[in-house]
């Protein structure tokens, strides 16, 4: 039988070990983006931005703040939370 304190210690060491493995694997790959990759990423971001602006152009305040249900987000909250960060 494994005692609770021993089980907690094992879980802590396992968590630390997994964090170490992930950290080492992330730092071991020294990858940088090429100029072409950066340009493509910038173009994708600008395209997404323009699509968002085109899609939301002309929305009224009521439409910006509309929530389909109490547990749903409005367009305004979604933008404030995801787009602005």
3-class SS string, the chain:
CCCHHHHHHHHHHHHHHHHHHHHHHHHHCCCCCCHHHHHHHHHHHHHHHHHHHHHHCCCCHHHHHCCCCCCCCCHHHHHHHHHCC
The answer to whether the pTM exceeds 0.75 is: no
- State the pLDDT at residue 4: 55
Q: What is the pLDDT of residues 2-11, one digit of tens each?
A: 455 666 667 7
- State the pLDDT at residue 35: 93
Residue labelled with tokens 């939301």: 56
- State the pLDDT at residue 36: 94
Q: What is the pLDDT of residues 40-85, one digit of tens each?
A: 999 999 988 888 888 888 999 999 999 999 999 998 888 877 765 5
**Using only C-alpha atoms, what is the Rg of the chain?**
23
């Amino acid at each position: 039988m494994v005692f609770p304190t021993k089980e907690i210690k094992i879980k802590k060491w396992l968590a630390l070990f997994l964090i170490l493995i992930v950290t080492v694997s992330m730092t071991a790959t020294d990858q940088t983006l090429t100029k072409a990759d950066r340009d493509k990423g910038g173009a994708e971001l600008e395209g997404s931005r323009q699509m968002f602006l085109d899609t939301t152009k002309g929305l009224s305040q009521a439409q910006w703040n509309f929530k389909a249900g109490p547990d749903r987000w409005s367009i305004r909250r979604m933008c404030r939370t995801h787009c602005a960060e």
